[in-house]
Amino acid sequence: MKQYITHHDWQIIEDDFHDEHNRISESIFSIGNGRMGQRANFEEQFSGDSLKGSYVAGVYYPDKTRVGWWKNGYPEYFAKVLNSCNWIGIDVLVNGKALDLAKCEIRHFKRVLDMQKGFLQRNFTVQMPTGEVLHVEATRFCSLVDDESGAIRYSISCDFSGELTLSPYLDFDVVNEDSNYDEKFWEEVQRAVGNGEGYLTAATRKTDFHVCTGMQFAINKNGSTIQLDPTLTEREKYIANTIKIPVQASDQVVLYKYAANLSSENHAKDKLVENCKQVLHRITEKGFDAMLKEQASAWAERWRDSDIIIEGDVAAQQGIRFNIFQLHQTYTGEDERLNIGPKGFTGEKYGGSTYWDTEAYCLPFYLSTADERVAKNLLVYRYKHLQKAIENAEKLGFHSGAALYPMVTMNGEECHNEWEITFEEIHRNGAIAYAIYNYINYTGDYKYLSEYGLEVLIGIARFWAQRANYSNAKKAYVILGVTGPNEYENNVNNNWYTNYTAKKCLEYTLLVLDSIKEHSAERYTAIIEKTRLIEFEEQELWRDIIANMYFPVDEERGIFLQQDGFLDKEIEPVSLLPEIDQPLCQNWSWDRILRSCYIKQADVLQGLYFYEDDFDETTHRNNFDFYEPLTVHESSLSPCVHVVLAAKLGYYDKAYELYLRTARLDLDDYNNDTEDGCHITSMAGTWMAVVQGFGGMRVRDDQIHLNPFIPKQWSAYAFKIRFRGSVLNIRVEQGKVKVIHESGLPVGIVLNGQKNELFEGDEWVL
């Protein structure tokens, strides 16, 4: 845990340069707009520790799998989000010596991520080793309005006389640190460099994505534009303009650099350069200040819909806004081919691929804060991968249309390669089915089921039916050899969560089948034909499995057992673990973790969270009381679900403690890994912790249920939810709840058990 970020309502602030934490800051201060993203690397040269990262959405590299020992069925590659062209680079020479913060005396340094307006600004004053003093203010953003573009204002105030050399450049000669074989992934396609501009197109190896990155720039000195007479530099995958400017003390030189990243996912390859020029022309015309103003407006719109206000606790306020901000930077919901990588555009780790995180943790955020279309696009993404999921299951020996969605994917193919994950974390299939249920329950969009959802459900149901087997010893169906969401167990039998989610999926599929048969017979017939569902036999088997699924329990404690044999372990709470041993994943050998009772994220509790209404409160309480104390929350996805359950059970201190852990996970580097990038998908869990946890929001019977509590540290908090075309604004103060129906159709609301129907403009205080 590191606490060097200054608390502020709307800003993330680093007041001094913490070179030892530079990679962490680079992650935290990342900017993005859903199409492209940029770690907070410096524009000028920096010889200190840094993870360079410029990412373009949808552009990946299938890096040849690296394994200790090949296992049959492993995928050929592990997909990587690519470090793409460095478009921010501006080399700065002061009297011929490079400006490099690792080599100067830093007199002042401040870095601010303005979340309200959506830009990153760095101010610093340095003395060069050769004595010159200069002050720099560098401002940049990825534009939400022109979403293939970024802009930089790099302003230098000189306290010296002599020569300033500026070299804005584009560099495709970049690496991924996580390259399996230390390869470079880009090959140059073409380049052009001219006076004040340049274009560089490169193609990814194997996948042949093309990306054209362009730049245009202008320089003014003391307010007057300088006529450029640059030296042009070209080498493979690199172009630069170099301008020498004579300066005197108190001169101010400002460089505006406009850049665009266009990918062949969105443009014909042969039009890339042309279109890139057009984009650059457009934004350059607009100019930096106008763009920044548009950026602020666009962000204001997003905040209007999705802000959470926390009063009386700046750390909590900053935390939740940071999470919401990063989510918007990562995914806009406008492109159904895209999804939400666990690190978004803030780092390489986890490959920028799609995980079950999306369905289990991100969907609620988008359901409640964005147009229905956004959540639907996330579901359609999986629908479009159904055939690949069927093929994936076939590779593992399943048949007849059984679908196993990949644990990690870019294009629908599995691209992770540890057997205990790839082959055994089959619970992801459950989350994908649950997300369909969740979406329908929230939106009432039943049409989605017949159009898309049912086919996916049938594929998944078939998988469960083949994956479970009847145990003669137990006289019940068992699911052997799985890894649950608690990845601190591998290859266990009868993971309660997996068995339960399998049963629920079978139930829901049968329900949906019946409903569609009843309400849209024609479509039903079409789906039966398309999926070749053997109506009677397959459904009979599903019913048999539902009726006879085995669930491990401990009657004495009144709990579900995480898996067979869990109670053979030495059971001791985390509170007795020496702090020096934590996080376990960095201090204990893997086998020791596996055979210990410690839980990365409690999957029994995850199941209670998903299927809450199936269980009474005693069951919730018994299980929470047993499992939470054994949980080390070393998955970033862990705390949020525990907040929701703790809040429900009235464990408010626990809920608040875990909330802080999720909300400030990256800002305070709780898990000692923010340097790899921010935990984007778990950020949606933070939103969930506030709205579903503290707010107690649920959707049942087409109504919004609220059961708010407010942590004693806060004076008030407020959030908005979109629900079936309406917008509700909920404000909770100590002892008071106010619900305002801001717009849209009437909404049924159950507040602390009291029913009401609110119409546009209604305000309900309790």
Which residue ranges make up the site for its own copies (CB under 8 A)?
A: 65-69, 71-74, 78, 181-182, 395-397, 416-419, 421, 423-424, 469-474, 478, 480-481, 490-494, 564-565, 567-571, 585-595
At its nearest, how many Å lie between its own copies and the CB of residue 343? Answer: 15
Distances (CA, A) of 282 to 258, 275, 279: 10, 11, 5
- Using the minimum distance from each CB to its own copies, give the nearer residue, 258 or 497: 497
- Residue at token pair 């007849």: 400
Structure tokens at 90: 């501006």
At its nearest, how many Å lie between its own copies and the CB of residue 592? Answer: 5
- Using the minimum distance from each CB to its own copies, give the nearer residue, 556 or 613: 556
Structure tokens at 142: 């990825």
Angle subtended at Cα 124 by Cα 121 and Cα 128, rounded to the nearest 5 degrees: 145
Q: State the burial class of residue 201 (Cβ atoms within 10 Å of its Cβ: 0-12, 13-18, 19+).
A: buried
- Using the minimum distance from each CB to its own copies, give the nearer residue, 226 or 567: 567
- Cα–Cα distance measured from residue 682 to residue 638, given in angstroms and rounded to the nearest whole number: 8
At its nearest, how many Å lie between its own copies and the CB of residue 475? Answer: 11
Give residue 79's Cα distance to chain centre: 16
At its nearest, how many Å lie between its own copies and the CB of residue 420? Answer: 8
- Using the minimum distance from each CB to its own copies, give the nearer residue, 419 or 452: 419
- Using the minimum distance from each CB to its own copies, give the nearer residue, 296 or 396: 396
At its nearest, how many Å lie between its own copies and the CB of residue 633? Answer: 18
Q: Are 560 and 485 in contact (CB under 8 A)?
A: no
Amino acid in the structure at residue 670: Y
- Cα–Cα distance measured from residue 14 to residue 6, given in angstroms and rounded to the nearest whole number: 6
H/E run at residue 498: helix 496-519
Can you give 571-590 as a three-state secondary structure string? CCCHHHCCHHHCCHHHHCCH
Catalytic residue numbers read 487
- Using the minimum distance from each CB to its own copies, give the nearer residue, 586 or 713: 586
Can you give 653-706 as a three-state secondary structure string? HHHHHHHHHHHCCCCCCCCCCHHHCCCHHHHHHHHHHHHHHHCCCEEECCEEEE
At its nearest, how many Å lie between its own copies and the CB of residue 572? Answer: 11
- Using the minimum distance from each CB to its own copies, give the nearer residue, 26 or 424: 424
Q: Are 58 and 263 in contact (CB under 8 A)?
A: yes
At its nearest, how many Å lie between its own copies and the CB of residue 589? Answer: 3
Residue 27 CB contacts under 8 Å (≥ 6 apart), including other chains: 39, 40, 346, 347, 666, 674, 675, 676, 677, 678
- Using the minimum distance from each CB to its own copies, give the nearer residue, 296 or 585: 585
**Beta bridge mates, 254:** 155, 220
The phi-psi region of residue 595 (left if phi > 0; otherwise alpha if psi is between -120 and 50; otherwise beta) is: alpha
- Using the minimum distance from each CB to its own copies, give the nearer residue, 58 or 352: 352
- Cα–Cα distance measured from residue 198 to residue 192, given in angstroms and rounded to the nearest whole number: 6
The phi-psi region of residue 448 (left if phi > 0; otherwise alpha if psi is between -120 and 50; otherwise beta) is: alpha
- Using the minimum distance from each CB to its own copies, give the nearer residue, 322 or 560: 560
Question: DSSP assignment, residue 747?
Answer: E
At its nearest, how many Å lie between its own copies and the CB of residue 562? Answer: 13
Nearest Cα to Cα of residue 143 among 43, 260, 27: 260
**Beta bridge mates, 471:** 476
H/E run at residue 330: helix 314-330
Angle subtended at Cα 429 by Cα 425 and Cα 435, rounded to the nearest 5 degrees: 130
At its nearest, how many Å lie between its own copies and the CB of residue 349? Answer: 11
- Cα–Cα distance measured from residue 334 to residue 331, given in angstroms and rounded to the nearest whole number: 8
Task: Give the SS3 label for residue 321.
Answer: helix
Per-position DSSP letters for 151-165, written without gaps between them: EEEEEEEESS-EEEE
Task: Give the SS3 label for residue 37.
Answer: strand
At its nearest, how many Å lie between its own copies and the CB of residue 587? Answer: 7
Amino acid in the structure at residue 719: F
At its nearest, how many Å lie between its own copies and the CB of residue 471? Answer: 4
- Using the minimum distance from each CB to its own copies, give the nearer residue, 71 or 337: 71
Task: Give the SS3 label for residue 132.
Answer: coil
- Cα–Cα distance measured from residue 481 to residue 663, given in angstroms and rounded to the nearest whole number: 34
Per-position DSSP letters for 82-134, written without gaps between them: PP--B-S-EEEEETTEE--TTSSEEEEEEEEEETTTTEEEEEEEEE-TTS-EE
